[in-house]
Structure 1
Amino acid sequence: MSRIEEALTKASQGERLGISTPVAPIPAPLAPDESSEFSYLSSVNTNLQLALAEVERPVLAFASAVPKEGVSTVVFHLARLMAKDRRVLVVDFNVGGPRLHKLFQTDNIKGLSDILHGRKTLDDCLVETGVPNVHLLPCGPTGHAPLQILGSAPIKRVLAELRARYDWVLIDCPPLRKHPETAILASLCDGVVLVVRALKTRRELVKYSQGLLEKAGARQVGVVLNRVKHWIPDFIYRRL
């Protein structure tokens, strides 16, 4: 049995939701000296490098169909892995439930929402995380969701400034079912990764989310099937 056939067989034991970029279990946040635990994310990093090889300083969105799929945790761990030899910025755009500031053990007093509404500058809001080469742009106050101005000049200007400063920009986005406008944000990025929790998220919701992204013109570089150790290439998944 080939590796691909083996991956398909193992994936079929639950809902077959994984495609493209690697699939991996996502544990709780790790201490800096536990870097060996990041080994399962190496293939994720490699696949992203290959998928966006032609893009200089990529800006990458991460989203899910519904809440609690593990998007923030995936972004958190991946940023730490990428930062071994690159400057990485993690952006919390999850206006419905910002969490990255908790993972990085900092506050959410000011952030992206302040920048988009003209209350603060980028330099006012960037946070040094304590992880070498990783900075955080928290979500900030979410009383007036910045999603309302997606596609406008402010968000495009901010994304351009972020790209100029960092080698990789990873954006934690709101779930697509509750915030379909997320697809617009994804279309402004160089690509989007859909995070799906294995054996939990219904296939119909995943297809719905992929449809929104496609209609918005977002480049779907892959899906991380959370809590599974195997990955299925996109062209094979679409035949299932």
Structure 2
Amino acid sequence: MGKLTKKQKAAAEKIEKGRVYSVEEASTLVKETSNTKFDASVDLAVRLGVDPRKANQMVRGVVTLPHGTGKDVRVLALVTPDKEQEAKDAGADFVGLDEYIDKIKNGWTDVDVIVTMPAVMGKIGPLGRVLGPRGLMPNPKTGTVTMDVAKAISDVKAGKIDFKVDRYGIVHASVGKTSFTADKIKENAEELLKTLVRMKPVAAKGTYVKSVFMSSTMGPGIPVDSKSV
């Protein structure tokens, strides 16, 4: 690990060793420990007691954060011509089909979310090798493959995010920006945590939420009391 800068060291010293914080306390502290010049993201890392290698313990879903993520989400709508105007009116940043499929084949992935329709998934399927590793592949489970493209786009723009446990059993998700009030960070974090708890797999045994850490971009991790989740 590299040497901490003076700002990083000062931020880390604000976190008491051996102490775990409530979501409310962490939401205030994460603003105080942010040391970037830009509006940093506030992230949660939640370690779950699941084995993601087993299909019946996979945790994946969506949640609509009450205050959004604070990020301008770029949405690509891969739709047939009859749905293009609907997608544009809903706020999609890029709308089309074949031309964007060609761009993606050539390496273009300058978007955050892709929304599409069941009828065109056959064309999009071969793009899995490009989109999959970047978390951009549309999926019915996350509401990004639907006939109601307008609602899907509106939901994403309003703060709907998808999450998936990684191979280490950890869910990483952004719950706002350091410019948010502490109350907004708290409410967003609680909404994500409540959603994760509701999604506990039946096959998961023992402690489900093992640890929770809140941090800002380049900021120190703040341990959150997982027992309160």
Structure with greater strand percent: 2
Does the pair score TM above 0.5?
no
TM-score of the superposed pair, with normalisation by structure 2: 0.39
Structure of higher RCO (CA pairs closer than 8 Å, 6+ residues apart): 2
